[in-house]
Structure 1
């Protein structure tokens, strides 16, 4: 079994050839304005517009923790908006990250990657503003994606 490839760089400019799926974690309250989403919005308007529409119309769709939305932004690039954090602030219930929601959201991500023959690219999902620990997220990625033969590259932003 292969393993996750770690590189310094920007996940919005994914490396390699072929179809690429950029995965990131969103909150469940419709907020889009801090962290990795800003880099996405600077590159493409579609992921934010789709996420906001998905949240606005949530009464009639699957918008909830664990859901994943796919947005095509380029001929060979898709963005996966994965709902993996409850709210946006650390409070009495701890940090916003929800590992079980990330785990759930990784299943449709794996299916889509296999369907498209795509590699998956991401920052350390759930570990920035969501407050998660990579030691908890990495095994989920290994189990849900790497075990299915999907190539995964994780980007650490260089200074």
Structure 2
């Protein structure tokens, strides 16, 4: 069993050697443009383009809560677009985070990390715009990834906050 390592830094610049997989949460509306996805798009165009195409073709693919799309962005670096948020947060609305979907997506990320022999890197997924609680998400990350021997690093952005 591995433990989750917490560091201050940028999750788009994973601090490990070897194959790395950056996991993050997306919504099920096809919206990309706020939160951690902005940092991803600043570094690589492929994850956003793949997510938008995946959403456009959703009638004929697995796009939906709990699904994961893995996109290779560098020879030893992948980005996992995990659908773990239903809609977006609006005034007076409940938080769009869907813990069950994040749990399902993390199990899929674990399989992909195992296939690749990759470590997994992430911000505190589901806790920003999705409105989730890390006290509910951390046990899912532990069970689905760390308990299976997958090295996990969680990044808290240098500027404070998550």
TM-score, normalising length from structure 1? 0.98
Question: What residue is the counterpart of 1:15 in the other structure?
Answer: 15
Stretches (4+) displaced over 2 A: 90-93
After TM superposition, list the pairs within 5 Å mapping 1:21-40 onto structure 2: 21-40=21-40
Question: What residue is the counterpart of 1:97 in the other structure?
Answer: 97
* Secondary structure of residue in 1 paired with 2:80: strand
TM-score, normalising length from structure 2? 0.96
- Alignment partners' CA distance in 2, 1:86 and 1:134: 18
- Alignment partners' CA distance in 2, 1:42 and 1:92: 31
Gaps of 5+ in 1: none
Question: What residue is the counterpart of 1:67 in the other structure?
Answer: 67
* Secondary structure of residue in 1 paired with 2:104: helix
Gaps of 5+ in 2: none
Q: Determine if contact 1:90/1:96 at 8 Å carries over to the other structure.
A: no
Number of matched pairs: 159
Root-mean-square deviation (CA, aligned residues, Å) is: 1.0
Question: What residue is the counterpart of 2:144 in the other structure?
Answer: 144
Question: What residue is the counterpart of 1:156 in the other structure?
Answer: 156
- Alignment partners' CA distance in 2, 1:68 and 1:101: 10
**Are 1:6 and 2:6 counterparts?**
yes
Instruction: Give the drift of 1:2.
Output: 2.5
Q: Determine if contact 2:67/2:104 at 8 Å carries over to the other structure.
A: yes
After TM superposition, list the pairs within 5 Å mapping 1:37-116 onto structure 2: 37-90=37-90, 94-116=94-116
Instruction: Give the drift of 1:127.
Output: 0.1
* Secondary structure of residue in 1 paired with 2:84: strand
